[in-house]
A and B are shown apart, each in its own frame.
Chain A
Amino acid sequence: MFAEQLVNGLVLGSVYALIAVGFALQFSILRIINLAYGETMMASAFVGYLVLTHTGLGHVAAALAAIAAGAATGLLLERFTLRYVRGGDELTPLMITIGVATLLTSVFSMMFGFEQRAFPRHYTGGILTIGEIQITLVQLSIFLIAIVTMVSLHLVLRRTRFGRAIRATADREHIAAAFGVNVRLIRVVAIGLSSGLGGLAGILIAENFGVVSPFIGTTFGLKALVVLIIGGAASLSGAVAGGLFLGMLEVMSSAYFLSEYRDAISYSILIIVLAIWPRGFVPNAVLR
């Protein structure tokens, strides 16, 4: 049913947009492509999973735990690795994040095995019906959380003094410092914030699909990249639009054709876009 796929596409797309926004935030401030971002999401999802399966606390607690785990992962990554290679070439941080990504994947697969695990579903049984379209409460929650988060972030960046400080740091770090911005603090906040967003996205994905696996990190990391590069060149809203677009594309193509090639299509788009616009990608434009 088309309407159903539309809803699925929007929900998935909203999460992809969230991933892209977090990823873009990190990229603008750190100036690196953090290939461990997907794995941060995966680790956070597992933390949420553990909260749900080992404690009596509910989904909200799990989500908060996931956000905290994400933020912690990002902060540790910056503090103990990336900080030491600041100002160097651009391949070095890439290699570090590749290493960390692999580390996380292998550690989590040793802890949890290679199989996917079922992520406990939220059984409120609520279904919203608009005309012919049925939206589950879970889907609605995911969509709303993603949208609200992105809007809030947008408002913070655009309307607050602190948000301006973040954008100024992303634009020209040393000049921002010359006008009183505590750049180090901004970096830490930006990384914590963006990784926390990643953690949120991770658990939202787990809620959406009902599974967690140690190997989803690479997949989602690459998707974040695709969204960023497709939409990020324009603006923050571009990243959002890119995310929605990718979500729709994947759901539609899964439902109607070529479901196995879904990922290949995303990656091919990535290569094509990069090939045509190698530098068309302005990092701090994303924060507007």
Chain B
Amino acid sequence: MGYWDHVILIAGINCILALGFYLTLLTGQLSAAHAAFVGSGSYIAGALAVKANFSFYPSIAAAAVLIGIAAAILGVILQRLSGMFFAIATLGFGEVLIVILKNNSYLGGALGLYGVPLRTDMIHVMGFLAVIVYLVIRLEGSRFGLSFRAIRNDPIAAASIGIDVARTRILSFVLGAIICGIGGALQVQYLSVVEPDDLGFYLTVSFLLFTIVGGRDIFLGSLVGATVFTVLPELLRITTYGRLTIFSIILVIIVIVRPQGMIDRLTALRWMKKIKPDSLKARFRKG
């Protein structure tokens, strides 16, 4: 596989992860736990592959299921929290997991889990991505998807028109987590390794960059953000910490100066008018 194929594949995985984070962000939940779900998905799929000889799809499926369950539990525990406090609590969750993983030699301890079979290929990533994008589009166009945004904008008003805020929030949390888990499962079977620190803060910052800078109000924003911020650093050959420095500066500037991100709804709708059929456009106008 060539260098640029590698970059594109990683970008594809990041797109999947970004969509997971985005889906949960739609209900107004900034989840620092999704980074942990990515890493956990990697650990689950990787461990099953290495220790229990699970093959490709079963390991991904198992990761999705287990992450779904974990996210449901966490989502229920934290359901009364919103905004800042929710974000803080999810931060804590990731850190707890990291500590546990670092001290657990069965899963490789601080050095991480190695030797995961290399099974993920471009076609897998793009296939999963396509399916997930399709599901997100269907969701966004549906009434259920509209309720996500309603909750983000004004939870009280949403509740008053009959939306079950708590349940919808938990669902968006779980769905986003599962997508991240799947992404993590794909990733580990490409990189062959996962470490405890992969669950950490750095990934959350990347997520913010992908979705907030990309455009928090429409799924396209996350896709563009993930692609741009995966490919560009490679193009410009920036080191990891240089990358972080620039990412964080961009994040702060965009949040202040152009909070809607690169792709805001209006731009996206105009763009889609040119290449998508009318039915899709009509669905989006409602949101």
- The answer to whether A binds B is yes
Answer yes or no: B78 CB below 8 A from chain A CBs: yes
Do the beta carbons of A278 and B92 come within 8 Å of each other?
A: no
- Closest A residue to B81 by beta carbon equals A278
Do the beta carbons of A98 and B204 come within 8 Å of each other?
A: yes
Q: How far is the CB of A24 from chain B (nearest CB, A)?
A: 14
Do the beta carbons of A270 and B83 come within 8 Å of each other?
A: no
The A262-288 residues at the B interface (CB cut-off 8 A) are 263-264, 267-268, 270-271, 274-275, 278-279, 281
Q: How far is the CB of B258 from chain A (nearest CB, A)?
A: 12
The range of chain B's interface size is: 35 or more
Do the beta carbons of B85 and A278 come within 8 Å of each other?
A: yes
- Residues 205-247 of chain B, each 1 if its beta carbon lies under 8 Å from chain A, else 0: 1001000100000000000000000000000000001101101
Q: Which residues of A contact B82 (CB under 8 A)?
A: 278
* Residue in contact with A275 in the complex, picked from B81, B91, B202, CB distance below 8 Å: B81
Do the beta carbons of A110 and B81 come within 8 Å of each other?
A: no
Q: A222 vs B92: C-alpha distance in the bound complex, in angstroms?
A: 8
The B184-201 residues at the A interface (CB cut-off 8 A) are 201
Answer yes or no: A235 CB below 8 A from chain B CBs: no
Answer yes or no: B114 CB below 8 A from chain A CBs: no
Do the beta carbons of B241 and A96 come within 8 Å of each other?
A: no
* Residue in contact with A94 in the complex, picked from B84, B89, B92, B256, CB distance below 8 Å: B84
Q: Which of A56-64, A85-93, A192-200, A242-250 contacts B (4 or more CB under 8 A)?
A: A85-93
Q: Which residues of A contact B84 (CB under 8 A)?
A: 32-33, 90-91, 94
Q: Which residues of A contact B100 (CB under 8 A)?
A: 261, 264
* Residue in contact with B256 in the complex, picked from A81, A261, A263, CB distance below 8 Å: A81
Do the beta carbons of A267 and B96 come within 8 Å of each other?
A: yes
Answer yes or no: B87 CB below 8 A from chain A CBs: yes
Answer yes or no: B168 CB below 8 A from chain A CBs: no
Given contacts A96-B252, A267-B93, 20 further A-B contacts (CB under 8 A): A32-B84, A33-B84, A92-B259, A95-B251, A96-B256, A98-B205, A99-B251, A100-B248, A102-B205, A102-B248, A103-B252, A107-B245, A218-B201, A260-B103, A261-B103, A267-B96, A270-B89, A271-B89, A274-B78, A279-B80
Q: Which of A's residues lie within 8 Å of B, judged by CB?
A: 32-33, 81, 84-85, 89-92, 94-96, 98-103, 105-107, 109-110, 218, 222, 225-226, 260-261, 263-264, 267-268, 270-271, 274-275, 278-279, 281
Q: Which of B's residues lie within 8 Å of A, judged by CB?
A: 28, 30, 77-78, 80-85, 87-89, 91-93, 95-96, 99-100, 102-103, 201-202, 204-205, 208, 212, 241-242, 244-245, 247-249, 251-252, 255-256, 259
